[in-house]
Structure 1
Amino acid sequence: MTVSQEQAELQAKLKDELAAFIANASAGEEDYDRMALAIFRYQFQYNVPFRKFCQQKGKTLRTVKKWQDIPPVPINAFKEATLSCVPAEDTQACFMTSGTTKKVRGKHYHPDTDIYDLSMQTFFAEMVMGDRDRFRMGVLFPDERHMPHSSLAHYLTVGAAAFGIGETHFYIEADTIDYSLLEQDLEQAIATDEPFLLLGATYSLAMVLEAFAERNKTYRLPEGSKVFDTGGFKSYAQKLTLDEFYDRLAATFAVPRSRCVNMYGMTELSTEYYDKTNETVPSVMYGPHWMRTRIIHPLTNEDVPYGEQGIIVHYDLANYNSVLALQTEDVGYQREGGFVLLGRAQGSDAKGCSISLSEFMDAVKRND
C-alpha cells in the first residue's frame, strides 16, 4: 500500500513548514498554535485510531481551536494500535519500546527520520554542545546497526555523526562493555588534553562506576569535558541515589556535576528534554520551542495548579506522523520554563492512566 498523491503532497508541505518552525527560535505562541493545528488536521484525516479517539472526546476540526484542545493519547496506546498517518509498511523507521511490561512492545512509525534527526540535532546543539561545534566522543550504548529498532541507538548514532570528532566508539555490543576500548579513549583524551564527551544510558554509566570503583580507577578528563546520561536509572536505584550517582560521576571522571547532562526522552516522542545542571536533583527538564508540557489530573484531564503534582502530558510537533499530544504515566510538577520528573504514577494516578487507555481502546473498537 502506498499513500495517495494528495497525502504525499500534504505531508511534504507539512514537513517543510515544520522544519522551518524548528529552525525559527523566535516562534511565538500564535505560531505554535498555527503549526499544531495544521498537524492536528493532518492526523485527524489520516490517523484513523486517533480520529476515533478525538471524536469520542468531542474534539473535531470544528471544536479544536488551540493546541491545548488537542486530546492527549495515553502512551500505552502505541502498544495497542498503529498510530501512523502513513501505512506501517510504507515507513522507513519503526522505533520500539523495550517491552518490559507484559512483553508487548510499543511501535512508533516514521515515514523517514528527517524531522526526528533535525529535532535531535537542533536541541542537542543548544543543550549539550553549548559553545562547541564538535567533541571527541565515546558512547556507552550499542550503535544503530546492532539495535535498529531503538530510538536511543538512532539518537546516539545521529549525535555522534553530527557532533563527533573522528571515529566515535560505541562500547557496548551483545550486552558486553568493552572496557579496554573505553579506557583507551579516556587515556587518549587525557594525553592530548582534548575535552571528551562520554554519553550513555544511565544504567551503563552506573555499571562503569561500579567496575572502576572495584579497581580503584579514576580519570581526570580535560577541562571542558562532559558526561551525558539518558535516564533509565531505576534499575540501579537500590544501589545508588541520584545524588550519589552524580557525585561518583564527578569523582570518577573529574567532571563537575554542573557539566553532567541528563536527557529525558521516550520512544513515543520525536524530541528530547534536557536539564541544565545536576547540582541539585531531581533537576528541572527543559524542552525546545516546538514542544509544550502540561501537568494534568489523571481523572479530570484538567491542568493542576502551577507547582502541584500531576501526570505529565507532552505536545511534540515533531511527532507529525503519529500523535502530537501524548499522556505519559510519569508524575511531575511545573517549574518556570520546565518541569520536574518525580517517577511513575502510583495509586489513583495510575488508575487514572488506565482509565485513559480504556477510553482510547473503546474508541478504536468503535465502528465509524
Structure 2
Amino acid sequence: MQADSIFSIQNDTDFEQSALHIFNYQYTNNKIYQRFCNLLGVTKTSVQEVDNIPYLPIQFFKQDKIVSTTASVQKIFTSSGTTGSIPSKHYVSDLLVYEKSFRKGFQHFYGDITEYVVLALLPSYLERDGSSLVYMAEQLIKDSKHAQSGFYLDNIQKLVDTLHLLMAEGKKILLLGVSFALLDLVENFGVQLNKNVIVMETGGMKGRRKEMIREELHQVLTDGFGISHIHSEYGMTELLSQAYSTGDGVFCCPPWMKVAIRNPEDALTLLGVNKTGGVNVIDLANINSCSFIATQDLGKMNQNGSFEILGRFDHSDIRGCNLMTL
C-alpha cells in the first residue's frame, strides 16, 4: 500500500477517507489487530466512520510483532523503559515513511530546517540503541547543513560556548533536549538565551531526577533560561509522527495525525472536548504497523483540535478493555 498519499492530506474529509482506507488495509493484513477487533465484535464492514475504529492498546507493542506488511524489517525502534521492564518494539519496514513524516512534520510547524542550527542534548537516548528520537535528531542535524549542529553528551561546557557563539552571530537555534538534561543545564551553567533560541523538551526524567508536572518543569526552564516559552515534542517509539507544542503544553498534530480522548472507565467510548481521559492516537504514518493506538497517557482535547497531556495511567488505572492475552 502506498504511504505517500497521507502526506497530501488537506482537510478532515481527506483524513477520514485515508484513515478508513488504512483501517481496512490493517484489519486485513495485521493479524494481531484483526483478532483484537474481532474480539470487540468489530469487522471491516462494521466500520463506517473513524469513530468506529478500535484503538489497539499500546502494550501490544511490548509482546507482539505489530506489522501490516510482509516486507522485510529495516529497523527496530525500542523504548527505553525502566529497569526490568519489557521494552516496546516498533518494527519499521520502510524508514522513508518515518523520515518523510518527521521532516514534513517539523516543516509544517517550524519551517525549513536549514534555517536552524540543531543542538541535541539527549544523553539517556544516546546511551542505548534503537531510539527513534535519536534517529530523527540525527537526520535533522544532517538536514540543517550547519557545521555546528550536533549531539552533546558529556561536554556541556562546549554546548554552552556554542550557544553563546551562535547567539552572538544571530543564528536561529533549536535546542532539543530531554527534560533532566535541560534542568541540569539551567542549574549548573545558568546560560541566558535570547529570542532566536527554541528550547524544545522531549519529556522524561528517565529515572535521573524526580518527576515534575509540566507547569513546574517549564517554569523552572523559562526562569532559568530567561525566555518566555518552552516548546515540546510529543512522540513515542510506537509512533512515526510527532505533535508539537509552541508553549503552554498545548500540542497540535500534523495533518496525517489526530488525537482522541477515551473514557478511562470505558475504553471503547470517546469523550468530547475539555474532558480528561486516555489519549488515543491515529498516526497514518504507521501504515505498516498499526495506525490506531490507545496510549497510557492522560490528556484532554481542546475545542480547536489541539490537546494537552496531563499525566499517565498507572497499571491500576487502566480500565475497560483488557484483551491483552490474544
Q: 2:250 aligns with which of 279, 284, 292?
A: 284
- CA distance in 2 between partners of 1:244 and 1:155 (Å): 27
Instruction: State the Cα deviation string for residues 314-350 of structure 1 (Å, max 9, x = none).
Output: 11111101111101111111112211211012586x2
State the AA in 1 paired with 2:80: S
| TM-score of the pair, normalised by structure 1 | 0.80
Separation of aligned partners in 2, 1:78 and 1:220: 39
Secondary structure class of the residue paired with 2:311: strand
Alignment match, 2:7: 22
- Alpha carbons 1:218, 1:251 under 8 Å: kept: no
Q: Given residue 252 of structure 2, which amino acid in structure 1 is its aligned partner?
A: Y
- SS of the aligned residue for 1:331 comes to strand
* 2:288 alignment partner in structure 1: 321
| Percent identity (aligned) | 27
SS of the equivalent of 1:302 reads strand
* 1:285 aligned counterpart, secondary structure: strand
Partner residue in 1 for 2:55? 72
Pair 1:230–1:105, CA change in 2 (3 A): same
Aligned residue number for residue 4 of structure 1: none
Aligned counterpart, 2:75: 93
Q: Is this contact kept in 2: 1:141–1:171, CA < 8 A? A: yes
Moved more, 296-305 or 200-209: 296-305
Pair 1:345-2:322 in alignment: no
Alignment-mate amino acid for residue 254 of structure 2: P
Q: Please tell me whether residue 306 in structure 1 is matched to residue 279 in structure 2.
A: no
Q: Tell me if structure 2 keeps the 8 A contact 1:134–1:164.
A: no
1:293 pairs with 2:259: yes
More moved, 131-140 vs 73-82: 131-140
Shift in CA distance, 240/142, structure 1 to aligned 2, threshold 3 Å: closer
Gaps of 5+ in 2: none
Are 1:183 and 2:168 matched, yes or no? no
Distance 2:12 2:262 in 1: 20
Q: 1:134 to 1:333 in 2, by over 3 A?
A: same
Deviation sequence 1:35-71 (CA, Å, 0-9, x none): 1122122212221111111111122121111222221
Provide the rounded CA distance (Å) in 2 between the counterparts of 1:317 and 1:264.
16
CA deviations on 1:233-278 (whole Å, 9 max, x unpaired) are 5857748654453344334444332xx2111111111111111223
Q: Does 1:83 align with 2:58?
A: no
Shift of 1:194: 2.1
Q: How far did 1:193 drift?
A: 2.9
**Counterpart for residue 201 of structure 2:** 229
Higher-Rg structure is 1
Name the SS of the counterpart of 2:323 in structure 1.
Answer: helix
**SS where residue 318 of structure 1 aligns?**
helix
Cα distance, 1:104 vs structure 2? 0.7
Structure whose residues are more often helix by fraction: 1
CA gap of 1:114–1:144, structure 2 versus 1, over 3 A, is: farther
State whether residues 6 and 285 of structure 2, in contact with CA within 8 Å, keep that contact through their aligned partners in structure 1.
no
TM superposition shift of 1:298: 3.2
Secondary structure of residue in 2 paired with 1:312: strand
| Structure 1 unaligned blocks of 5 or more | 1-10
Residue 269 of structure 2: SS of its match in structure 1? coil
Evaluate the alpha carbon distance shift between residue 134 and residue 43 of structure 1 in structure 2; reply closer, same or farther with a 3 A threshold: same
**Cα RMSD for the two superposed structures:** 2.6
Alignment-derived partner of residue 121 in structure 2: 140
Aligned equivalent of 2:96: 114
- Deviation of 1:295 after TM superposition, in Å, equals 0.9
CA distance in 2, matches of 1:148, 1:229: 20
* Aligned pair partner of 2:176 in 199, 217, 221: 199
Task: Report if aligned partners of 1:203, 1:235 keep a CA contact under 8 Å in 2.
Answer: no
Q: Offset of 1:189 from its aligned partner?
A: 1.1
In 2, Cα distance between equivalents of 1:80 and 1:182: 39
Who is 1:36 aligned against? 19
Could you tell me whether the CA contact under 8 Å between 2:185 and 2:191 is conserved in 1?
A: no
1:347/1:83 CA distance change after superposition, 3 Å: closer
Q: Distance in 2 between matches of 1:161 and 1:254?
A: 29
The structural deviation recorded for 1:131 is 7.3
Q: Distance in 2 between matches of 1:137 and 1:306?
A: 35
Cα 1:74–1:225, aligned 2, differ >3 Å: closer, same or farther?
same
Deviates more, 1:297-306 or 1:261-270: 297-306
From the superposition, tell whether residues 101 and 42 of structure 1 become closer, same or farther in structure 2 (CA, over 3 Å). farther
- Per mean C-alpha deviation after superposition, the further-off stretch among 140-149 and 287-296 is 140-149
Distance 1:104 1:346, change over 3 A: closer
Instruction: Please state how far the C-alpha of 1:286 moved relative to its aligned partner.
Output: 1.1
| Paired residue secondary structure (1:303) | strand
One-letter identity of the residue aligned with 1:30? T
Residues of 1 paired with 2:27 and 2:18: CA distance? 14
Instruction: Judge conservation of contact 1:134–1:165 (CA < 8 Å) in 2.
Output: no
1:257-308 deviation line (CA, Å, top 9, x unaligned): 2xx2111111111111111223xxxx22111121121111134221124212
1:124-166 deviations in Å (ceiling 9; x for gaps) = 1232x24775212211025998644101111211222223523
